[in-house]
Amino acid sequence: MAWTNPTLSAAQLPSVTSGTVHTVGECFEKLIEPRLPAVEVVHHWHELLLKYVAQPTPTLFIRRYGKDDRRGYLSLDENGFGYVYCDNYFAQLIAEQVLAGRCPSLADLNDAIADRTIPIGKRISASEKLAAFRKTKSPRLNDRKWKLAHLHPVGSNYHFNYRKESTLLFPKGVDSQWAAPDHIRRVSAVPANDREKMAAHFLRMVHPANYFLCPIPAVQSYNGKDVGEDVRLLRYVHNQFCLRYGKLLQALEAQIMLPELSAWPTVTADTPLHLTLQGPGDSPKSTVSVLASVTKGEPTRKQVPITFNPSSEADFKAGLVVRRKAIITLTRMDGSTFSKEWNAAGFKATSSLRDNLLGHRALRSSARVAEGIVAVHVTLAP
């Protein structure tokens, strides 16, 4: 097939409209699930992408340096393995292919990358004169107020230190390195373990089982954050994707170098998530809100789910009376965690467990809001 960009019709991708959802399950059912691609198309792309990265000399698209005038800049090692910098528009262009039901062959994908007819995205600035790939028209997703929300983030949360290693894996370089007539930077052979890390990054960005459509932040707000990055929603979507894709998702996650997922909170369809969206013709953004998951008048302690180890609060309390110390693990909205020690030297059998816990400085209301805390787990100290 010739590599062209589809034009998604309004029926294939309707614009975001006004409305409100009240739970995680309702958010998935009304906003996310209707915009998921056909399962058989996802299966096709799964096989295509895994075959592509397993080739001896693929060219991988890497989401870096979009703000540093490196979009479309291609590097090839001495064996023919390559990588090219892009921004998230490349992932959107692939998502549009998937949503349109297109199923290119491996030869189609190889040819489109080899002859550079596959576009890098919608933006290449005037200063990016050494780009090896072209730009194209804007994807329809943002025009219709949708964004790609990645289930597993592209730029963090690997089982290696991504922040430290990414600058070594993906060197920014200087323009003169791409000044050859073919606009290719020649680099030394990329080691196999580094190629695996690059492939994990690429698959996270473009694999359709690792993202879903979510309203853009411009039509919603969430304590200054994006509901598409709410760890409760991500956890629920992950649960649904496990049911939807089964072994396919397991195979993908085996390739993308994930850490343990135990830090994700436990959620159900009834987990509160009150989201109000602004559609075309609505009043300005200031009237739009994604509210905290708590009804007016409820105690603030109910904003954040708290779990214990031992799981029974009675057993935990009995243990705390003896040990006098516990470890509090807090999960932020982006899925990251940090721990604090709880010195409970004054705790007694008659003390209120939750009142004392919420008195810890890390769990006071202002601290929880500042850190974006969405879940708390407390373990007795050894």
The pLDDT tens digits for 265-291 are 789 999 988 888 876 655 433 333 333
CA distances for 352 relative to 264, 301, 364, angstroms:
27, 13, 16
pLDDT digits (tens, 9 = 90+) for 141-189: 888 999 999 999 999 999 999 989 998 999 999 999 999 999 999 999 9
Which of 239, 261, 287 is the C-terminal boundary of a domain?
287
The structure's pTM equals 0.74
Tally of structural domains, the chain: 2
Higher pLDDT, 370 or 126: 126
Domain that holds residue 218: 19-287
CA angle 49–51–53, rounded 5-degree value: 70
pLDDT(104) > 90: yes
In a domain, 293, yes or no: no
Cα–Cα distance, 321 to 317 (Å, whole number)? 6
Q: Give 9's DSSP letter.
A: -
154 with 206: CB under 8 angstroms? no
CB-based contacts of 173-176 (< 8 A; 24+ apart in sequence): 173/70, 173/73, 173/75, 175/130
Q: Does one domain contain both 246 and 279?
A: yes
Query: DSSP labels for 285-327?
Result: GGG--EE-SS-TTS-GGGGS-EEEESSSHHHHHHHHHHH-EEE
Q: Does one domain contain both 211 and 304?
A: no
Cα–Cα distance, 233 to 318 (Å, whole number)? 34
Helix (H, G, I), strand (E, B) or coil at 59: strand
pLDDT(221) > 80: no
Residue 297: pLDDT band with limits 50, 70, 90 = very low
Q: Who contacts 285 (Cβ-Cβ below 8 Å, separation ≥6)? A: 218, 219, 221, 278
Residue 100: pLDDT band with limits 50, 70, 90 = very high
Residue 134: pLDDT band with limits 50, 70, 90 = confident
Question: What pLDDT shows up at residue 292?
Answer: 33
In a domain, 133, yes or no: yes
In a domain, 7, yes or no: no
Q: Does one domain contain both 265 and 336?
A: no
Calculate what percentage of the chain has a pLDDT beyond 90.
54
CA angle 372–374–376, rounded 5-degree value: 115
Q: Does one domain contain both 261 and 374?
A: no
Q: Does one domain contain both 122 and 259?
A: yes
Question: What pLDDT shows up at residue 281?
Answer: 53
Q: Pick from 51-65, 109-123, 221-235, 314-328 the range whose average pLDDT is largest.
A: 51-65
Which of 244, 260, 287 is the C-terminal boundary of a domain?
287
In a domain, 6, yes or no: no
Helix (H, G, I), strand (E, B) or coil at 185: strand
Q: Does one domain contain both 244 and 369?
A: no
Q: Give 361's DSSP letter.
A: G
In a domain, 354, yes or no: yes
Kindly state the average pLDDT of the residues 102-127: 89
Residue 76: pLDDT band with limits 50, 70, 90 = very high
Q: Does one domain contain both 33 and 71?
A: yes
Q: Does one domain contain both 224 and 358?
A: no
Q: Does one domain contain both 277 and 328?
A: no
Residue 368: pLDDT band with limits 50, 70, 90 = low
pLDDT(207) > 90: yes
Q: Does one domain contain both 54 and 167?
A: yes
Q: Does one domain contain both 118 and 196?
A: yes
Which of 255, 287, 319 is the C-terminal boundary of a domain?
287
In a domain, 294, yes or no: no
Q: Does one domain contain both 59 and 32?
A: yes
Question: What pLDDT shows up at residue 263?
Answer: 64
In a domain, 3, yes or no: no
